[in-house]
């Protein structure tokens, strides 16, 4: 495994929820998908993708074989029922399915699975997204500083919005796009680990395509 590839994957914070799950002894043995006894899988990096094209981009690459181990995990997406890992278990990957509910159910099922110890795992959310052409070009690699949820908002067909509105979106609980956010749950915005993000970016700048 190439070190730059691994360190690039460390651009996001370690999943703090994993440390809050039930304590699993490092001596615990579990049944693997093949039926043989094996130690807990303790990945250093867990890659999370949302749909097939994103996930399959990791298959068949020379740096590491993500399909060396394929583990069926109860509770994750029925369309993508397996977690894929390298032979040594240091890198794992899962496709959650699109939508927040699918991501939440899949990641929660993995976090509470007795097959994994995720207390020292970094999660890489690797996906395809749009970007303003004023900021980047098609095919650019970007490292987000913030994870922002925009689900709690209203939308009106642009053909029906008032003439003085510039968009059909406005915050939940508000009455127009210019109103301040009324209902704040405290989970709308998360900032990733900036030090790790800078390390990942430094390796990405010198990566060989």
Instruction: Give pLDDT tens digits for 38-58.
Output: 589 999 999 999 999 999 999
Degrees (nearest 5) of the Cα angle 17, 22, 23? 110
pLDDT for position 50: 95
Residue 205 — pLDDT band, cuts 50, 70, 90?
A: confident
Summarised one tens digit per residue, pLDDT across range 19-35 is 333 333 333 333 334 43
At 196, give phi and psi (nearest 5°): -65, -35
For the chain, the average pLDDT equals: 82
Is residue 189 scored above 60 in pLDDT? yes
Query: Mapping DSSP to helix (H, G, I), strand (E, B) and coil, where does residue 153 land?
Result: strand
Q: Judge contact between 98 and 107, C-beta under 8 A.
A: no
Torsion of CA 106, 108, 112, 117, to 10 degrees: 80
Q: CA 205, CA 78: separation in Å to the nearest integer?
A: 37
- The two tokens of residue 28 are 């615990």
Residue spans of alpha helices (H) in 60-118: 100-111
Is residue 10 scored above 80 in pLDDT? no
Q: CA 69, CA 148: separation in Å to the nearest integer?
A: 33
Chain centroid to CA 75: how far? 17
pLDDT top residue among 50 and 181: 50
Summarised one tens digit per residue, pLDDT across range 52-79 is 999 999 999 988 999 999 999 999 999 9
Report the relative pairing of strands 189-191 and 29-31 from DSSP bridges.
unpaired
Summarised one tens digit per residue, pLDDT across range 98-130 is 988 999 999 999 999 999 999 999 999 998 888
Cα–Cα nearest to 11, from 208, 145, 106: 145
The beta-strand segments (E) located in the chain are 29-31, 37-39, 45-49, 69-72, 82-85, 91-95, 122-125, 146-148, 153-155, 169-171, 189-191
């Amino acid at each position: 495994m190439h070190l730059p590839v691994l360190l690039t994957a460390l651009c996001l914070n370690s999943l703090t929820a994993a440390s809050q799950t039930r304590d699993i002894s490092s001596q615990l043995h579990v049944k693997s998908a093949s039926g043989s006894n094996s130690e807990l899988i303790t990945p250093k990096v867990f890659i999370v993708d949302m749909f097939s094209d994103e996930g399959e981009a990791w298959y068949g690459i020379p740096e590491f074989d993500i399909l060396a181990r394929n583990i069926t995990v109860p509770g994750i997406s029925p369309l993508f029922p397996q977690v894929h890992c390298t032979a040594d278990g240091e890198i794992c990957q899962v496709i959650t399915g699109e939508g927040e509910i699918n991501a939440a159910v899949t990641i929660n099922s993995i976090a509470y699975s007795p097959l994994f110890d995720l207390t020292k795992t970094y999660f890489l959310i690797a996906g395809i997204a749009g970007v303003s052409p004023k900021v980047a070009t098609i095919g650019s690699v970007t490292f987000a500083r913030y994870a922002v949820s925009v689900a709690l908002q209203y939308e009106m067909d642009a053909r029906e919005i008032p003439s003085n509105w510039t968009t059909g979106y406005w915050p939940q609980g508000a009455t127009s796009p210019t109103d301040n956010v009324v209902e704040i749950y405290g989970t709308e915005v998360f900032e990733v680990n900036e030090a790790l993000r800078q390390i990942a970016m430094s390796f990405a700048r010198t990566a060989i395509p």
